[in-house]
Amino acid sequence: MPVKDLMSKKLITVNVDDTIMKASKMMKDNGIQHLPVLKKGALAGIVSDRDLKEASPSKATALDIHELYYLLDTITVGTVMPKRLFTIAPMDTVEKAAAVMLKNNISALPVVSPEGALEGIITKGDIFRAFVSISGIYQGEWAMGFELADEPGSIKEVTDIIRTHGGRIASILTGYEWAPQGFRHVYIRARDLKDAQALQQELGGKVKILYFIHEQVD
């Protein structure tokens, strides 16, 4: 799934010379936690509510309220935003966006076109929503995990058995990270099973079952 299908296109931005008080108010007023930062109209960075909180004086400060407000009104966004800027392209995948966030311990990415134009922003919340959608949990109440040989036809063998028991496949995800050499883990969601116990018994006689769970989201 490309980033452009999930990113927020309603951009609320701040300038490098704006104060952190202004940025904090903009976040609060709009119910957001990240603001792209512009300099002369071009993207210069991104600032989060965490950046603003870390830059603000502690509640234990010895400053009186007037000194505190004066200080907050002199600290600019440009001085507290992270120096290194990570971005993602509209046609990059959501998986890549998630990997960049995870690797760099960040929670949002500005979406920038190949020409350098700011087109949107994608956050961890957007990634979570994409994962939930792709997982098929809303369409398939039966969750199954298998350890299958990494060879052609291994997944088809399992899905064919599920279908003989009336099951309809909602999603199929695979991964290699936790599987032994020569195998892969396959995660399937299905619905409309006629006899889940009979299906589990038949599958258990042919492949290794990691889990077989019935669950629904209220």
* 184 contacts 150 by C-beta, under 8 angstroms: yes
Q: Are residues 111 and 32 in the same domain?
A: yes
Alpha-carbon torsion 199, 204, 209, 214, what sign? positive
Residue 18 clears pLDDT 80, i.e. is over it:
yes
Q: Are residues 22 and 81 in the same domain?
A: yes
Which stretches of the chain are assigned E, i.e. beta strand?
14-15, 34-39, 42-48, 108-112, 118-123, 142-149, 168-175, 183-191, 208-214
State residue 65's pLDDT score.
54
Q: Are residues 140 and 120 in the same domain?
A: no
Q: Are residues 91 and 13 in the same domain?
A: yes
Alpha-carbon distance of 141 to 192, in angstroms, equals 9
State residue 36's pLDDT score.
97
74: confidence class by pLDDT, cuts 50, 70, 90: confident
Query: How many domains are contained in the chain?
Result: 2
60: confidence class by pLDDT, cuts 50, 70, 90: very low
Burial class (CB in 10 A: 0-12, 13-18, 19+), 90: middle
Residues of the chain above pLDDT 90, percent: 85
